[in-house]
Amino acid sequence: MEPKPITSLPPDRRDFITKAAAIAIGGAIAVVPPLAGLAVFVDPLRRKSEAGSAVLVATLGAIPENGEPRKFPVLATKVDAWNRTPHVPVGAVYLQRLKDNHIRAFNVVCPHAGCFVDFRPTKGHYHCPCHDSSFSLDGQILDPKSPSPRGLDDLPVEIRQGSEVWVTFQNFRAGVHEKIPV
Amino acid sequence: MKPALDWLDQRTGYKKLLHETLFENVPGGARWRYVWGSTLAFCFTIQVITGLALWLAYSPSSQTAWESVYFIQHEMWGGWFLRGLHHFTAQAMTVLLVIHLMQVVIDGAYKAPRELNFWSGIVLLLLTLGLSLTGYLLPWDQKGFWATKVATNIAAITPFIGPALQKVVVGGNDYGHHTLTRFFALHAGFIPGAIIAFIGVHIYLFRRHGITPKEPRRRPDAAFWPDQVLRDAVACLAVLLVVLFLIFRFHGAELGAPADPSEQFSAARPEWYFLFLFELLKYFPGGTEIWGAIVIPGVLMGILAAMPFVGNWKLGHRFNVTFLWAMLVGIGALTFLALKADRGNPDYHAAVLAAERDAHRAVLLAQSPEGIPPTGAVTLLRQDAFTQGPKLFAKNCASCHRYDGHDGVGGQPKDAPSAADLKGFASREWLTGLLDPEKITTPHYFGGSKLQGGKMAKFVKNDVVAFSAEAKTDLAKALTALSAEARLKTQHAADQRDASLIQSGTKALIGTTLGCMDCHKFHDSGEELGSAPDLTGYGSREWLIDFIHNPEHPRFYGSRNDRMPAFGEEKQLTTQEIGLITDWLRGEWYEPKKL
Any idea where the domains of chain B sit in the sequence?
A: 25-258
The CATH number of B25-258 is 1.20.810.10
> Distance between CA atoms of B320 and B304, rounded to whole angstroms?
8
Best to test chain B binding among A41, A80, A165 (most B CBs inside 10 Å): A80
> Distance between CA atoms of A84 and B112, rounded to whole angstroms?
58
Distance from CA of A15 to the nearest CA of B (A): 34
Q: Are B61 and B230 in contact (CB under 8 A)?
A: no
Q: Does A181 contact B at CB distance below 8 Å?
A: no
Best to test chain B binding among A131, A143, A163, A177 (most B CBs inside 10 Å): A131
Give rounded-to-5 percent helix, strand, coil for chain B.
Answer: 60, 0, 35
What value, to the nearest 5°, has the Cα angle with vertex A14 and ends A13 and A15? 90
Q: Using the beta-carbon criterion (under 8 Å), do A129 and B267 form an inter-chain contact?
A: yes
> Distance between CA atoms of B483 and B425, rounded to whole angstroms?
9
Q: Out of A68, A80, A92, whose CB is closest to B176?
A: A80
Q: Closest residue of B to A162, CA-based?
A: B570
Work out the average pLDDT over B525-542. 89
Q: Out of A133, A171, A173, whose CB is closest to B156?
A: A173
Work out the average pLDDT over B162-183. 94
pLDDT of res. B354: 87
pLDDT of res. B413: 84
Q: Which residue has the higher pLDDT, A12 or A87?
A: A87
pLDDT of res. B248: 97
Buried b (16+ CB within 10 A) or exposed e, B118-127: bbbbbbbbeb
pLDDT of res. B215: 83
**How would you write A148-172 as a 3-class SS string?**
CCCCCCEECEEEECCCEEEEECCCE
pLDDT of res. B338: 95
Q: How many whole angstroms from its chain centre is CA B116? A: 41
Q: Out of A45, A113, A163, whose CB is closest to B153?
A: A113
Q: Is B110 exposed, middle or buried (0-12, 13-18, 19+ CB in 10 A)?
A: buried
Q: Using the beta-carbon criterion (under 8 Å), do B156 and A80 form an inter-chain contact?
A: no
**How would you write B60-96 as a 3-class SS string?**
CCCCCHHHHHHHHHHCCCCHHHHHHHHHHHHHHHHHH
Report field, pTM of the whole predicted structure over 0.95: no
Eight-class DSSP state of B402:
B
Q: Which residue has the higher pLDDT, B24 or B181?
A: B181
Q: Closest residue of B to A140, CA-based?
A: B286
Distance from CA of B215 to the nearest CA of A (A): 41
Q: Using the beta-carbon criterion (under 8 Å), do B154 and A163 form an inter-chain contact?
A: no
Which residues in chain B are contacts of A89 at CB distance < 8 A? 260-263
pLDDT of res. B562: 86
> Distance between CA atoms of B305 and B288, rounded to whole angstroms?
25
Structure confidence at residue B527 as a pLDDT band (50, 70, 90): confident
pLDDT digits (tens, 9 = 90+) for B558-573: 888 888 999 998 888 8
What letter represents residue A173's amino acid? R
pLDDT digits (tens, 9 = 90+) for B316-331: 999 999 999 999 999 9
A98 pLDDT exceeds 90?
yes
Structure confidence at residue B6 as a pLDDT band (50, 70, 90): very high
Structure confidence at residue B495 as a pLDDT band (50, 70, 90): very high
A1 pLDDT exceeds 60?
no
Q: Using the beta-carbon criterion (under 8 Å), do A174 and B146 form an inter-chain contact?
A: no
pLDDT of res. A12: 67
pLDDT of res. B19: 92
Q: Is the peptide bond before B213 cis (omega within 30 degrees of 0)?
A: no
Q: Percentage of residues in chain A with pLDDT exceeding 70?
A: 92
A54-168: what CATH class? mainly beta
Q: Out of A61, A115, A146, whose CB is closest to B285?
A: A146
pLDDT of res. B268: 86
Q: Does A46 contact B at CB distance below 8 Å?
A: no
Q: Out of B156, B178, B282, whose CB is closest to A81?
A: B178
User: Cα dist. B413→A120, B265, B397, B418 in Å?
Assistant: 11, 21, 10, 11
pLDDT of res. A7: 57
Distance from CA of B502 to the nearest CA of A (A): 40
pLDDT digits (tens, 9 = 90+) for B10-54: 999 999 999 988 998 899 889 999 999 999 999 999 999 999 999
- Residue whose C-alpha is closest to residue B447's, from B463, B464, B460: B460
Q: Is the peptide bond before A64 cis (omega within 30 degrees of 0)?
A: no
pLDDT of res. A5: 58
Q: Which residue has the higher pLDDT, B429 or B572?
A: B429
- Residue whose C-alpha is closest to residue B515's, from B559, B433, B444, B458: B458
> Distance between CA atoms of B225 and A50, rounded to whole angstroms?
63
Q: Out of B266, B413, B570, whose CB is closest to A129?
A: B266
Give the residue extent of every domain in chain A: 13-44, 54-168
Q: Using the beta-carbon criterion (under 8 Å), do A80 and B146 form an inter-chain contact?
A: no
CA distance between the termini of chain A = 66
Structure confidence at residue B488 as a pLDDT band (50, 70, 90): very high
Work out the average pLDDT over A101-129. 92
Which residues in chain A are contacts of B340 at CB distance < 8 A? none
Q: Closest residue of B to A145, CA-based?
A: B285
Q: Does A178 contact B at CB distance below 8 Å?
A: no
Q: Out of A73, A82, A141, whose CB is closest to B286?
A: A141
Q: Are B131 and B187 in contact (CB under 8 A)?
A: yes
Structure confidence at residue B104 as a pLDDT band (50, 70, 90): very high
Work out the average pLDDT over B405-415. 87
Q: Using the beta-carbon criterion (under 8 Å), do B287 and A173 form an inter-chain contact?
A: no
pLDDT digits (tens, 9 = 90+) for A134-146: 999 999 999 998 9
Structure confidence at residue A101 as a pLDDT band (50, 70, 90): confident
What letter represents residue B17's amino acid? L
What value, to the nearest 5°, has the Cα angle with vertex B317 and ends B235 and B96? 20
Q: Is the peptide bond before A3 cis (omega within 30 degrees of 0)?
A: no
Q: Is A41 exposed, middle or buried (0-12, 13-18, 19+ CB in 10 A)?
A: middle
> Distance between CA atoms of B580 and B384, rounded to whole angstroms?
7
- Paired residues of B274 in beta bridges: none
Q: Which residue has the higher pLDDT, B505 or B571?
A: B505
Q: How many whole angstroms from its chain centre is CA B179? A: 19
What letter represents residue B383's amino acid? Q
Work out the average pLDDT over B216-245. 94
Q: Using the beta-carbon criterion (under 8 Å), do A59 and B571 form an inter-chain contact?
A: yes
B239 pLDDT exceeds 60?
yes
Q: Pairing relation of β-strands A103-107 and A154-155? A: antiparallel
A49 pLDDT exceeds 90?
no
Q: Using the beta-carbon criterion (under 8 Å), do A118 and B264 form an inter-chain contact?
A: yes
> Distance between CA atoms of B396 and B62, rounded to whole angstroms?
30
Best to test chain B binding among A115, A135, A150 (most B CBs inside 10 Å): A115
Q: Using the beta-carbon criterion (under 8 Å), do A64 and B266 form an inter-chain contact?
A: no
Best to test chain B binding among A45, A130, A165, A179 (most B CBs inside 10 Å): A130
Best to test chain A binding among B150, B177, B283, B347 (most A CBs inside 10 Å): B150
User: Cα dist. B469→B433, B439, B464, B466 in Å?
Assistant: 17, 19, 11, 9
What lies within 8 Å, CB to CB, of B42 at 6+ separation is: B236, B239, B240
Q: Using the beta-carbon criterion (under 8 Å), do A146 and B164 form an inter-chain contact?
A: no
Which residues in chain B are contacts of A131 at CB distance < 8 A? 278, 281-282
pLDDT digits (tens, 9 = 90+) for B367-376: 999 999 999 9
Q: Closest residue of B to A3, CA-based?
A: B11
Work out the average pLDDT over B545-563. 92
Q: Using the beta-carbon criterion (under 8 Å), do A147 and B156 form an inter-chain contact?
A: no
- Residue whose C-alpha is closest to residue B539's, from B425, B431, B430: B425
pLDDT of res. A6: 57
Structure confidence at residue B529 as a pLDDT band (50, 70, 90): confident
pLDDT of res. B236: 98
Q: Does A154 contact B at CB distance below 8 Å?
A: no
- Judge if ipTM > 0.90: no
**How would you write B449-483 as a 3-class SS string?**
CHHHHCHHHHHHHHHHHHCCHHHHHHHHHHHHHHH
Catalogue the long-range contacts made by B178-183 (C-beta closer than 8 Å, 24 or more residues apart): B178/A44, B178/A81, B179/B62, B179/B137, B180/B60, B180/B61, B180/B62, B180/B65, B180/B137, B180/B138, B180/B140, B181/B60, B181/B61, B183/B60, B183/B134, B183/B137, B183/B138, B183/B148
pLDDT of res. A147: 92
> Distance between CA atoms of B482 and B429, rounded to whole angstroms?
12
Q: Using the beta-carbon criterion (under 8 Å), do A71 and B395 form an inter-chain contact?
A: yes
Q: Closest residue of A to B62, CA-based?
A: A80
> Distance between CA atoms of B137 and B176, rounded to whole angstroms?
11
pLDDT of res. B71: 98
> Distance between CA atoms of B312 and B320, rounded to whole angstroms?
11
DSSP count for chain B of H helices, then E strands: 26, 4
pLDDT of res. B445: 94
Secondary structure of residue B497 in the 3-state scheme: helix
A2 pLDDT exceeds 70?
no
Distance from CA of A127 to the nearest CA of B (A): 11
Q: Are B89 and B135 in contact (CB under 8 A)?
A: no
Segments in A6-149 forming alpha helices (H): 16-41
Residue A32, φ and ψ in degrees, nearest 5: -60, -55
Q: Percentage of residues in chain B with pLDDT exceeding 70?
A: 100
Q: Which residue has the higher pLDDT, B135 or B453?
A: B135
Q: Does A40 contact B at CB distance below 8 Å?
A: no
Mean pLDDT over all residues of chain B?
Answer: 93
Structure confidence at residue B595 as a pLDDT band (50, 70, 90): low
Q: Using the beta-carbon criterion (under 8 Å), do B572 and A59 form an inter-chain contact?
A: yes
CA distance between the termini of chain B = 59
The listed range with the strongest mean pLDDT (A151-160, B147-156, B345-354) is A151-160
pLDDT of res. B494: 95
